[in-house]
Structures are given as structure tokens and as C-alpha cells.
Structure 1
Amino acid sequence: MGQGNIRIGISGWNYAPWRGDFYPEGLPHREELAHASRVFRTTEVNSTFYRLQTPPTYGRWFDQTPEDFVFAVKGPRFITHVKRLRDISAPLANFLASGLLRLGHKLGPILWQLPPNFRFDGDLLAAFLKQLPRDTDAALHAARKHDDKLRVEPWLKAPARQPIRHALEIRHESFLVDDFITLLRDADVALVCADSVEWPLAMDATSSFTYCRLHGSTELYRSAYGAKALDLWARRAKAWAQGRKPPESRFIGPARDISQRRDVFVFFDNTDKLQAPHDAQALMERLGQPVRRLTSAA
């Protein structure tokens, strides 16, 4: 049976406790991304959530990773948590002009994470989704509207036109309504399937791809996933990729659009206590994907 592309990865890569465990003892810090990218085929970039990066930084990330590697980039908290999706034209332009497009064909989904106290507002959310660029041409057009708060030389070029996909992570129960799912489907934005102890878990198919974040189901950011849980997530990933209903589903709206084969991204965000890289590799094994346990940045 044909299926979409399943990529398993980690949320970030710069964690001191991983050194001497996932990262070989003595591995230079500057080589950690290169090492991780030879084990996994994708990673989330978390630093973009806290501050704008620069074109040279994006360029280094591009150069340090294999040709088929894909970055999922986290949108700035200034847009989601400070501005709370209001009056974001300039901040969005600054983000797009800061070097994001320097990732070229390695640019994967952009993740937008809403704060836990952000309640559903249909009109506000619809206006935000409308502003998101859906391809690199639209991103370049928006990036040219950056303002003087962009403190670096803007990156205003991109390779051949390519799509840009977006995913939205919610953390408030008020989003558990049909209108929210309709908005995402109309905008072709993926609802993040977030497994945690504190926030809603939903698996509605709202886009042409599926985006999962596994935060630790018993202790946020810390608890490991046991064999039974990993078996379940492997079955879910296969189902999404093959266009089938995932087992033990939880939906907000009507269970529509299940039959479409989808690309699947699964990121382990249980980064404390060294859990994420080991859980990600265990899930890859269950999916029949090759796992490389490196002892150097080969």
C-alpha cells in the first residue's frame, strides 16, 4: 500500500544532559546538529521561538545536515504569546526576512504554538491564518515588508518556488469546537496532535500532512514512552501515512478526510532525562526505519 513519508525526530538538539549519552563524550558542541541529523531525518528548531535568528545561522544549519534533511521551524513567541496574533504583519515579515528561506528545500512545516491561556477566537484566528504564506514566493513578498526592528541584513531570496506548510498547537479547552476544525481545514493548516498531561489531545485531519508532538504523557517534558505506548504511536503513524483512521482516535469535529495518504512528522519533546532521542529511535525501529547509533559525527 502506498503511503506518505514518515519522519521521526526530536524537538531541538542543544541539550547539555545529552552530552556523553546521545552525543559521544567529547563531541564539539558545534557538531551536535550534524550528529543528530545523521540519526534522524528531521528536527524542530526551538531557538526561533525565543528570538530571531540570522541568515548565517540558517546557512550553517543547512550546510551541517544531509541533503534530504527537513527542519520544522517554530514561529516566534513574540507573535503568538506577546502580540497574541494581533497586529503581526511587521513581526511576521521580520521572521520571514531573518533567514528562514535560507533553509531552501530543507524548510519543512512552520509550527505555531499558542499559549495555555489563549482562548479560541474564530475571527482573530481566521485573520492570522490568512496572513501565513503558503509558498516561498508569498513568503518573499511578505518578507520585503520587514521594519527596522530586524537587526540583521534581510535574506530576500529563495530557490525555486516551493510550498510552505503550517501547523498549529493549541493548549486551551475552548478550541474543542467544530468551528475551529473548519477554520483549519479551510486554511489547510495542520492541527498538532499533542500528547501531554496538561493540554488537549486531538487527531483531526485538517491538512495534507500530520504533525505530532509527544511531550511525555505522564510527566510533561520528562516521562519516557514505554513499549506499549510506542507500539500505539507506530500504528497511528502508519495509519495517517496510509490514509486510515488511527487507533484510539480522539476527534474534535466530524472524522472527515481520513482516506487521504499524508506525510507524517512525529517529534519527541520529552527532552529532559535523555528520553527524546532514545524514544525517537525506538519508534523508528517499530516503523522499520534504519536506526544509526553513532559514536561520532560521521
Structure 2
Amino acid sequence: MAKNASKGASRIRVGVGGWTYEPWRNNFYPAGWPHARELEYAAGKLTAIEINGTYYSTQKPASFAKWRDDTPDDFVFSMKASRYSTNRRELATAGESIERFIGSGISELGKKLGPIVWQFMPTKRFEPEDFEAFLALLPHRVDGLALRHVVDVRHPSFKVPEFIALLRQYKTGVVYADTDEYPSFADITSDLVYARLMRSQADVDTGYGASSLDRWAQAAKTWAAGGEPADAPRVTSTPAPDTPRDVFIYFISGAKERAPAAALALLQRLL
């Protein structure tokens, strides 16, 4: 099996957030590796990367095109959407900001364009009508490319069945955050699973211990096959359709210097 750790219609992709990080040099990246070619190297070892810079500032179409050309044909980028769309009192007013982000050139990624993550501040509470208005603003296509959306909510008020029902209605995914800092949602609300693993430890060579990586590998396989891990923290007991789905797992935060090693160790378990 190819390094994508995938068969058939479903795919399991594993990666990290970004590719420019000083502690990865002479660690993940070989000593003396050119900084300008770090994406090329990372994409040759991993199967996906979450772009974080798009959350903070608008990128140029030429940048997306370069990232597309610097990566293998079967590589995928997830990306955080602009914070100006989500960090606001009334989400229903985000239409212009959303359009500006979607039209910023992300379609240059072509078939390498993966899920778009809309991340909300930990102080943002769940207000059903306003949040539904936001979901209704998310476009389904750009320049002929289908778009898939995922929300990353961080306030405990979202841990209610009404929130999960809205996501299923709008076919929007939800981030499963492996952390005690924010609420975790393992409910399947769209045709994908998006997990951000945030417990990497500096004193563990692979960030996560062997038994934890074994459990995540099994969970990824179960999700991809259309099932749901029995111990996953769900808000509702309503099962998702038993159909194959795409799985995206990113090692984010925690001891970030260990993220590439954790991703590589998980990929090995998926072969």
C-alpha cells in the first residue's frame, strides 16, 4: 500500500500543522536542509499538512500555486480559514469575510485542497440561530472545486445535541480535539473525521506513547471503514451512516517538536 495508508474510496491522512518550525531543523529535517525546500521534504514523508498561516493573514494565489507544485500528486492541504470570519460577535455578519477568504486563491491548490477549518475562540458560546446563519453562509464550491468545511469550537456550551444536529443538517464536520483544554467531539457529522491530537510529550520520542498510537491507528481504521470507536466521546448516541469516510489526523500543539515523529509513527501503524 502507498504511503497514504488508504484503500478504495476512503483515505486516512496524517500530518502536522505547518512546515516551518525551528526545532524541526536538524531533527525532522536533515542537517543543512534548505529552508526553502522544507515543504517539499515534509510532503515527501507525510500525507497532509494543515496550513495555519491562512488563519492570521491573507495569502496570495501564487503562494497556493507554489505549495501545490512543491508537493506530490496525492498530497492534501487542510487549512484554517481567516480569523476575521469567526472572531466576531455576530457570525451572521461574516458573509463578506467568508467570500473574501474563499476567493483569495485557495482554488489554486486544485485537487490538493482538503477540508477548511473554521476555528472559534474559546470564549465563543453556542447561539443556535446565529451559528446556523454562519453555516448557511459557507459555500459548497469555488472555481468548480467542491469544498468541505469543519468547525473547531472550544466552548463547552457547544456540547449539546442541537449543535450536532445543525452540523449534520449542513453536512459540516467538527474537530475532534484530543485535549483536556477544550471539549472533544467524536460525533460524525459529515463524510469525514478531522482529529487534532494535542497531547504530544517532550519526553516521549514519538510524542505519543506506543499504546496511544496503537489506539489512534485502530480508531482511524474504524472511522475510515464507516464505523465509530466505542470509547469515542460523543454528544449524541445517534450513529452515523455506516459508509466509508475520509480521515484526517494532525499532531498539533503539545510538544510540537515531537509532532513529525508522532505523525511518522502513526503512518507506520497504518501500513
Normalization by structure 2: what TM-score? Answer: 0.91
After superposition, give the CA deviation of every residue in 1:125-177 in whole Å (9 maximum; x if it has no partner): 111111111122xxxxxxxxxxxxxxxxxxxxx4xx33210111111110010
Closer/same/farther in 2, CA of residues 60 and 103 from structure 1, 3 Å limit: same
Asked whether 1:174 is paired with 2:157, we answer yes
4+ residue stretches of structure 1 with deviation over 3 A?
270-273
Query: Using the alignment, how far apart are the partners of 2:63 and 2:266 within structure 1?
Result: 30
SS in 1 for 2:130: helix
Structure 1: gaps (5+ residues): 137-157, 289-298
Query: Using the alignment, how far apart are the partners of 1:84 and 1:66 within structure 2?
Result: 40
Match of 2:209 in 1: 226
Alpha-carbon offset, residue 271 of structure 1 = 6.3
Query: Using the alignment, how far apart are the partners of 2:31 and 2:117 within structure 1?
Result: 32
Question: Residue type of the partner of 1:104?
Answer: G
Question: Residue type of the partner of 1:58?
Answer: F
Query: Using the alignment, how far apart are the partners of 2:111 and 2:8 within structure 1?
Result: 23
SS in 1 for 2:96: helix
Question: Residue type of the partner of 1:264?
Answer: V
Asked whether 1:103 is paired with 2:86, we answer no
Match of 1:282 in 2: 265
Question: Residue type of the partner of 2:216?
Answer: W
Match of 2:31 in 1: 25
Asked if structure 1 preserves the Cα contact closer than 8 Å seen for 2:184 and 2:233, the reply is yes
SS in 2 for 1:32: helix
Which residue, out of 176, 180, 183, partners 1:193?
176
Asked if structure 1 preserves the Cα contact closer than 8 Å seen for 2:90 and 2:130, the reply is no
Identity among equivalent positions (%) equals 41
**Aligned pairs (5 A) from 1:1-298:** 4-82=10-88, 85-136=91-142, 158=143, 161-216=144-199, 224-270=207-253, 272-288=255-271
Query: Using the alignment, how far apart are the partners of 1:218 and 1:121 within structure 2?
Result: 35
Asked if structure 2 preserves the Cα contact closer than 8 Å seen for 1:79 and 1:92, the reply is yes
Asked if structure 1 preserves the Cα contact closer than 8 Å seen for 2:75 and 2:112, the reply is yes
Normalization by structure 1: what TM-score? Answer: 0.83
Alpha-carbon offset, residue 230 of structure 1 = 0.8
Q: Structure 1 or 2: larger strand share? A: 2
Asked if structure 1 preserves the Cα contact closer than 8 Å seen for 2:220 and 2:247, the reply is yes
Between the two proteins, the alignment pairs up a number of residues equal to 262
Question: Residue type of the partner of 1:57?
Answer: S
Asked if structure 2 preserves the Cα contact closer than 8 Å seen for 1:112 and 1:167, the reply is yes
Closer/same/farther in 2, CA of residues 94 and 241 from structure 1, 3 Å limit: same
Asked if structure 2 preserves the Cα contact closer than 8 Å seen for 1:3 and 1:243, the reply is no
The two structures, once aligned, show a CA RMSD in angstroms of: 1.9
Query: Using the alignment, how far apart are the partners of 1:199 and 1:27 within structure 2?
Result: 36
SS in 1 for 2:73: coil
Question: Residue type of the partner of 1:53?
Answer: Q
